[in-house]
Amino acid sequence: MKIKVKLFATLRKERFDEKNFEIDSGSDIEYLLKKIQLKKDEIAIIFINGKHADLNTIINDGDDIALFPPIGGG
């Protein structure tokens, strides 16, 4: 399956902004994070095709995945 992954904010540092990947059918977000060497605690928000998702959400062919880190401020 072909998917597109977009990283935002601090996740981009020394990685990529947007990149296409080939993954196995039936893969979930947790598998994807391992593949792109991101830790679960680095991710706060996940969107697939503009809709909120979680670590157990199954990825489908052609999905656009957006990953956001926790954001702090004050």
Token output for 43: 């991710």
* Residue extents of the structural domains in the chain: 2-68
Surface-to-core class of residue 40, CB atoms within 10 Å of its CB (0-12 exposed, 13-18 middle, 19+ buried): exposed
Query: What is the pTM assigned to this prediction?
Result: 0.93
Please list the pLDDT of the chain residue by residue as tens digits (74 residues): 999 999 999 999 999 999 999 999 999 999 999 999 999 999 999 999 999 999 999 999 999 999 999 986 55
Per-residue pLDDT, 71: 82
Per-residue pLDDT, 69: 96
Q: Which CATH class is domain 2-68?
A: alpha beta
